[in-house]
Structure 1
Amino acid sequence: MATGPMTRPRAGGVLRTKPVDRIVAEGGQGEGGELRRSMGLLQLTFFSVGATLGTGIFVVLGEAVPLVGPAIVVAFLLAALTALFSALSYAELAGTIPVSGSSYSYTYATLGEIVAWVCGWCLLLEYAVSVSAVAVGWGQYLNEFFDKTFGFTMPAAVSGPPGDGGVINLPAVAVVLIATFLLLRGTSESATANTIMVFLKMGVLVFFCAVAFTAFRSANLTPFAPMGMAGISAAGSKVFFSYIGFDAASTAGEEAKNPRRDLPLAILLSLLIVTVLYVAVGLAAVAAEPWQEFEDAEASLAMVLDRAVGMAWPSAVLSLGAVIAIASVVLTVMYGQTRILFAMSRDGLMPPIFKRVSPRTAVPVANTLLVALFISTLAALVPLGRLADATSIGTLFAFALVNVGVMVLRRTRPEMPRSFRTPLFPVTPLLGFGFCVYLMFKLDNATWVVFLVWMAAGLIAYFAYGHRHSLLARQDVPEGRGPT
């Protein structure tokens, strides 16, 4: 029975799914204008690389190498394999449902409205807190670059994290404003700026490898795995989170020129590029410096360069790379958040202000400004602390749902054209789901508390607003669990 435009949806409607054909047909449509298809394969690939290749690699070795020794290269490969299972599921769904909502839209088509809402809600936490946490560190890396290059630093009160010597983090606000300016200029301009930044930060990591390999000592690689498989597994879990972000291209489904072909390729190519860089950097670092010297958790690539060449300028170059890396992550993650909000608003689950598109720039302007205001306030004034850890669990939860979504859509719509099919189905998505759940339970109790509280808040918000304003509930669509 059809519901009238003013009829409230029935309680059972929380499990209604949105037909895939309708999701795709609505792609690009906003209030007042449409998103513009302007991104090619290179730009999409570098969006994912930009979101993934952040500051993690600049500091993660100090935390992971003491757990595993020279076998850090195997740990990076193990983490990449874990990420690959979910990346293959993302690639299939991105090619089948090429829209802006990423895992939110995929879940809406396969698992139902309330699950999609929870997925989108988790992504909002992941994106907002992660970009705020990354922006907070921008002032520290900027200070390090200024110190090594010009011999001065900004006062800690205006450049440090709040609660850790800082009062207001102005560099964090600055990097968010830079990203906002680029996003408001248009998608093509943002993608071009990100492509340049990704080339630069990849170049800095290649520079690190070139310098570190001049201090190569084969004796530093023996014994290769002093902690055995237990150490490799522990380090693999630690470095896995350096791979989060490969799904960023999937948020650009409605602004890609050839989404069905390019989105799967961009996701998989970005994971390959990042893996090659991580393995090369890890090998160069442990070959140049005995792994026992990495016991200080604050140890970083800069330490390796300082000891390898005995001069400060290579570390200055590395600090510049970290500054560029943060700016690129802020840009791409903010982009992803605005597009997921756009998709949720278009479905009626978020207020309509988030779906308004500028007819001149084809950008959701109000959406971008509100996101920038929230993120810059969070980064400038709020001590993030352990809240940042919740980004990991929210991401893994979304990854797990995407793996389930692939299996559901294969069962309910086997005839649907797919530009990419996950190999070894259903083993691959099952492994992807299993690894995500395993890593979620490896996180500490405090992270789970934050996650569950955020989930509870999301369910309250859904029943208070989303459930009552869902456009799907107001249309003549049969309710059910499978797409029609």
Structure 2
Amino acid sequence: MPTVKQLFRRKPVPEMSAESGADTGGSELARSIGLFQLSMFGVGATIGTGIFFVLSQAVPVAGPAVIISFVIAGTVAGLTAVCYAELASAVPVSGSSYSYAYATLGELPAVGVAACLLLEYGVSAAAVAVGWSEYINALVDNLFGVALPDSLSQAPEQGGVFNLPAVLLVLLCTLLLIRGTSESAKTNAIMVLIKITVLLMFIVIGIGGWNSANLEPFAPFGLAGITSAAGIIFFSYIGLDAVSTAGEEVKDPRRTLPLAILIALVVVTTLYIAVSVVAVAAQKYTDFEGQEAGLAAILEDVTGSSWPGTVLAAGAVISIFSVTLVVIYGQTRILFAMSRDGMLPELFHKVNPRTLTPVPNTIIVAVVIALLAGLIPINFLAEMTSIGTLVAFLVVSIGVMVLRRTHPELPRGFKVPFYPVTPVLSIAGSLWIILDLRAVTIWVFLIWVSVALVWYFLYGFKHSHLGRHEHVGLIHD
């Protein structure tokens, strides 16, 4: 039986940095991503369908004070983002929170975090692909009056046979990722700029419908409504951590990683707050409940025309494509880091010598996600991504404090301001939202993590590269 010391053995940060070539400029993967492209990774993974549709859920709960809810949710996300920024600059490797947990908390907690990341990235990729299928179908119907039959656009449980558009989206993203990281980053940057333009269009046109009377009463449901809406809105900020999965493909990672996280945070928060202000000023808060495609409906009222609905549907289609691309990318890099550590078979660590991308890893991830997206309605699994993400956030905030104590000498391109208050508040914010989730979600999550730990005891512990080092040390002794 493994000892407690073995279960919580930590991977030395200098060894991680050496593997990734953080200080030498070398890496098993191609270092081709600059600051702008990496910032767009963060924005692309965060701005999904959430902002296009979350107002219809949040405004009926908070009223016009939903503006404050966006600020609160952005603050909680921001607290975690700055924790990610410090760890990314101190441990600039692939693997995101998995690698940070390995360096600060130990091997067993790292595997538990990896299970969380599989939910956040793998399952959410399938969920958003299903969403993309709905919007692409609606857009094609609006433009050409043609729609795919339910048999080819719904999962079996929903009366269909196979969700073809969802699978095609995963295929397109996979082809881009196999082609090369640089090409994927450029494509993502273009799509992100388009969806930012769509949101700016909403702000500029929507402000023409400003009516101060719509802002009264400002907080009809009091503080309870504001905080409840903040919990709903928080999930529109998930995705900022995707930046940290690119640690080994970034130029000058100790500087670029934290800067990209902070830039993405500022861009996303500014856009979200501006959109919410314009939306509640242009439409009475009582009209949001049950409203589908709320932003489109507001612009149609302001302009008296139906074209905004088509434009915003196109924006949602591009938005989801961008999210899916970055999320699949993030999943493959986490599995890449785990395989290098011996937690998964070596196949996930193999890199194509020409493109310097983990091709077998990417294909396996794509097949699994495509099957989920094509055959299963993802509603409940989408909720599971939330708790996986929040637990990963918790670990990162704890990791900042542990690394400050165990490795104060490490070079850091960024340091969390107001330490230790900031990580403590980040932990409190994540716990607050977790406790607001349904009990069944928490129980299923615990079962899922237990399955991952069984895998660790059956495979990971025996194949751990750290364990091999220990064994060699015992032989030498």
Alignment of 1:77-96 (within 5 A): 77-96=71-90
Specify the SS of the correspondent of 1:305.
helix
What does residue 445 of structure 2 align with? Answer: 451
Distance change in 2, residues 1:272/1:299 (3 Å): same
Distance change in 2, residues 1:473/1:10 (3 Å): farther
> Which one-letter code corresponds to 2:214 in the other structure?
N
> Which one-letter code corresponds to 1:94 in the other structure?
A
Q: 1:38·1:257 contact (CA, 8 Å) conserved in 2? A: yes
Q: Does residue 40 in structure 1 map to residue 38 in structure 2?
A: no
Shift, 1:28, TM fit: 6.0
Q: 1:28·1:36 contact (CA, 8 Å) conserved in 2? A: no
What does residue 173 of structure 1 align with? Answer: 167
Alignment of 1:397-476 (within 5 A): 397-476=391-470
| Identity level (%) | 54
Shift, 1:209, TM fit: 1.5
Specify the SS of the correspondent of 1:474.
helix
Specify the SS of the correspondent of 2:277.
helix
What does residue 340 of structure 2 align with? Answer: 346
Q: 2:52·2:293 contact (CA, 8 Å) conserved in 1? A: no
Select which of 15, 20, 23 maps to 1:27: 20
What does residue 145 of structure 1 align with? Answer: 139
Q: Does residue 69 in structure 1 map to residue 58 in structure 2?
A: no
Shift, 1:308, TM fit: 2.4
* Distance in structure 1 (CA, Å) of the matches to 2:270 and 2:471: 47
Specify the SS of the correspondent of 2:20.
coil
Q: 2:61·2:229 contact (CA, 8 Å) conserved in 1? A: yes
Select which of 246, 250, 267 maps to 1:252: 246
Shift, 1:450, TM fit: 1.6
* Distance in structure 1 (CA, Å) of the matches to 2:470 and 2:69: 51
What does residue 11 of structure 2 align with? Answer: 18
* Distance in structure 1 (CA, Å) of the matches to 2:346 and 2:260: 31
- TM-score, normalised by the number of residues in structure 1: 0.94
Alignment of 1:234-273 (within 5 A): 234-273=228-267
Distance change in 2, residues 1:468/1:11 (3 Å): farther
What does residue 366 of structure 2 align with? Answer: 372
Q: Does residue 207 in structure 1 map to residue 182 in structure 2?
A: no
Question: For this pair of structures, how many residues does the alignment match?
Answer: 469
Specify the SS of the correspondent of 1:254.
coil
Cα displacement string for residues 65-123 of structure 1 (whole angstroms, at most 9, x for unaligned residues): 00111111111111000111111110000000000011111110110000011101210
Shift, 1:297, TM fit: 5.7
Select which of 32, 54, 58 maps to 1:60: 54
Shift, 1:449, TM fit: 1.8
Specify the SS of the correspondent of 2:158.
coil
Q: 1:148·1:312 contact (CA, 8 Å) conserved in 2? A: no
* Distance in structure 2 (CA, Å) of the matches to 1:457 and 1:442: 24
Q: 1:40·1:262 contact (CA, 8 Å) conserved in 2? A: yes
Specify the SS of the correspondent of 1:295.
coil
- TM-score, normalised by the number of residues in structure 2: 0.96
* Distance in structure 1 (CA, Å) of the matches to 2:133 and 2:456: 37
What does residue 295 of structure 1 align with? Answer: 289
Cα displacement string for residues 223-276 of structure 1 (whole angstroms, at most 9, x for unaligned residues): 111112111101111100000000111000000001100100111110110011
* Distance in structure 1 (CA, Å) of the matches to 2:144 and 2:36: 35
Distance change in 2, residues 1:357/1:9 (3 Å): farther
Shift, 1:282, TM fit: 0.9
> Which one-letter code corresponds to 2:11 in the other structure?
K
Shift, 1:212, TM fit: 1.4
Cα displacement string for residues 126-185 of structure 1 (whole angstroms, at most 9, x for unaligned residues): 211101000001121112212222222221221234423432100000110110011011
What does residue 313 of structure 1 align with? Answer: 307
Q: Which runs of 5+ in 2 are unaligned?
A: none
* Distance in structure 2 (CA, Å) of the matches to 1:455 and 1:406: 23
* Distance in structure 1 (CA, Å) of the matches to 2:294 and 2:367: 32
